[in-house]
Amino acid sequence: MLPRWDNQVGKRRKEAGVDLTPYIGTIVTVVLAFVGFYGMVSTRLARTEQKIDDLAETVSKHNGVIERTYALERDMHTAFKRIDELKARDDKIEAKIEKLHE
pLDDT confidence of residue 100: 85
The model's pTM is: 0.49
Q: Where are the alpha helices (DSSP H) in 4-23?
A: 4-16
**Mean per-residue pLDDT, 68-77:** 92
What mean pLDDT is reported for the chain?
A: 85
Cβ 19 vs Cβ 13: under 8 Å: yes
Identify the pLDDT of residue 10. 55
Q: Using CA atoms, how far apart are residues 41 and 18, in angstroms rounded to an integer? A: 34
pLDDT of residue 23: 85
Would you call 36 helix, strand, or coil by DSSP? helix
* Residues 52-67: tens digit of each pLDDT: 999 999 999 999 988 9
Widest CA span of the chain, in angstroms? 142
